[in-house]
Amino acid sequence: MAQAKRTQSKPTATEPKPTQAQAKPKAASRRASDAGRVLNRLLIERVTPQLDGGRYPVKRVVGDRVDVGADVIKDGHDQFAARICYRGPGDVTWAHAPLRYEFGPDRFYGSFVVDRVGRWQYSIEAWDDPFATWCDEIRKKFEAGQTIALELVEGALLVEAAARGAQAEARVRLREVAAFLRTDDALVADRVRRGTDAEVATLMAEHGAHRAVTRYPIELEIVVDRRLALFGSWYELFPRSQASTPGVHGTFADAAARLPRLAELGFDVVYLPPIHPIGHSFRKGPNNSLACGPDDPGSPWAIGNAAGGHTAVEPKLGSSEDFEAFVRVAQDHNIEVALDYALQCSPDHPWAREHPDWFHVRPDGSIRYAENPPKKYQDIYPINFWCADRENLWNACRDVLLFWIARGVRIFRVDNPHTKPLAFWEWMIGDIKALHPDVVFLAEAFTRPKRLAALAKVGFTQSYGYFTWRTSAHELRAFVEELAQGELAEFHRPNFFVNTPDILHAYLQTGGRAAFRVRLVLAATLAPTYGIYSGYELCENVAVRPGSEEYLDSEKYQLRHRDWEAAGNLNADIAAINRIRRENPALQQLINIDFHPCENDQILFFHKGLPEDGNDLLIAVNLDPFHSQEAMVHVPVAALGLGPDAEYQVEDLLTGARYTWRGARNYVRLDPGEQVAHVLRVVR
């Protein structure tokens, strides 16, 4: 249909032409008395922490101290005060914490502690402080020898006003102070000293009237998670490969039999790839082959067949009741179960039959399968999240999570979230955490940095990252410093998986057993959360072909039987490093890391410390899996509270050996055939 032309009417003979004033209306004058206009006496700026102007919440875990900063600006010389206003989930009233002024940065600082899981809010208030102004001025006048009789009366009036609003003992104390300020029987010096002492200042800060309060216009938010969101050791296994007999499909009961050993090794989370029925159409064979035999189990990520979809379990693994029993056994061993949440379907999934419009329908009526040209995944249909029936689709995806949450799962590893809409994740994670704030979402997102950050902003608790591909000292330092010391530290929590079913890095393929030990120590000490995928402890390192990061005979497409106690295994290394992590709170944080000079770029040297706990670790890792390396490392003695020439002892937590060091510059030698790293605790 042709679009109608938009025309402008012309004045007619009977319509007078508009005057210049009418044609160009005069701007309305701005008056201080304009209704609704807020006239703040103070300006509050640069409140931290905040993310994108308050668009997204920052993140903390239970027990964290939230450090808050703000610029509060006022004209003139009058004193003013400021405080943090904060409240936790379910709180109706606001709690308060003081902000203190620091002259150097000309900025206010304060803190509060978040003590429970959920969504918190905080803001800043500032106000004129006439009593502090009085204290400042009367001291100066008294020291200058000026007459201050009237000023003492002014102080008494301020204290009397505060007493009227105080209760019980505070009211009595304030009235006594006011009376003393008014009396002529005491020395002026004593009256000044009493009126300006610390006790009176505290009483007045608590009970004095806040005049002309200015409130920061944004109520900022914090998502507070349980501690496992920050600190934990993960282990990934395929339940179908856990049978004790080679070639036999494993069950949940078989997987449960492995849990005591994983507990002994010190793991907190066992992560299971998809446990749902696997599609038959275009099922993949060994090594991602299109040729599939009758006994090939297929890829668990091709979800759904006649037995059900995302809320069903693969019958060969057992029943839903068997899965719930597996969860209970894990809980008995203080291990949590994480499930894979993969929003894609096999052609046999019930959704493909019942809701074909939820997928990408091609002009010929067929449904498009997944592709990443030139790769083709004929056994998987990607979902169309912006289909016409979007609301029902999104609700169905959310209800899958609610189904498994009802069966004891509180952790979900989300497959390829960067290929789904950010708007969907923000809605869905918000909806789930409003009901179950303890749920943890791990993003398996090997994608561009800004997209990875966006996923963390919209709600993901943790994320895989680029650790697998950072192997040199320079790369590791730059990568970790960005995570720990920049804006990302406010909202992005890394999970340093050393390998995955999809990723066998060249460093592991060529570096032998020493390479596996190096990467284990790095992941477990650089980041508070790390993980390994089954077979890592056996140093499995054969790729499907040169130049590929895919495993030969990948467990994604076939069963794998392993001897977990085979010669050369890393069980002792894993148990030791997980024990060290649990016993040393310095390793349970990310932001407390500092890298320090080492006179050999094949050795990475860093410090992790918690001064309040007296826990300081100096860690040196040989990045060369083939050769011994030695170097002088530069210890941050000042940060350790030591003099430049002090003598001190360090204990290697991996071996128990003790060394006497002196000052900043000390010697290390690491032989990859024997010891790839020092994890040194400063002996206090």
212's torsion region: left (phi>0), alpha (psi -120 to 50) or beta?
A: left
Q: Calculate the CA 470 to chain-centre distance.
A: 20
Burial of 84 (0-12, 13-18, 19+ CB in 10 A): buried
405 with 440: CB under 8 angstroms?
no
CA–CA distance, 472 with 519 (Å, rounded to integer): 11
How open is the CA angle 191-196-197, to the nearest 5 degrees? 100
CA–CA distance, 69 with 344 (Å, rounded to integer): 44
For residue 27, the one-letter residue type is A
**CB crowding 110-136: b at 16 or more within 10 Å, else e:** bebebeebbbbbbbbbbbbbbbbbbbe
CB proximity list for 82: less than 8 A, separation 6 or greater: 44, 70, 72, 99, 108, 124, 125, 126, 127
Q: Strands of 593-595's sheet, edge to edge? A: 593-595, 603-610, 615-622, 677-682, 647-652, 658-662
Q: Tokens at residue 282, please?
A: 């275009």
292 with 265: CB under 8 angstroms?
no
CA–CA distance, 59 with 223 (Å, rounded to integer): 5
CA–CA distance, 352 with 279 (Å, rounded to integer): 11
- Residue 110 phi, psi dihedral angles, 5° rounding: -165, -175
Give the Cβ contact number of residue 361 at 10 Å: 14
Q: Calculate the CA 565 to chain-centre distance.
A: 35
- Identify whether 444 is a catalytic site residue: yes
Q: Which of 125, 236, 340, 415 is catalytic?
A: 415
Residue ranges of E strands in 259-319: 269-272
CA–CA distance, 479 with 485 (Å, rounded to integer): 10
Q: Which of 340, 379, 444, 616 is catalytic?
A: 444
Q: Calculate the CA 369 to chain-centre distance.
A: 34
Q: Could you give the residue numbers annotated as active site?
A: 415, 444
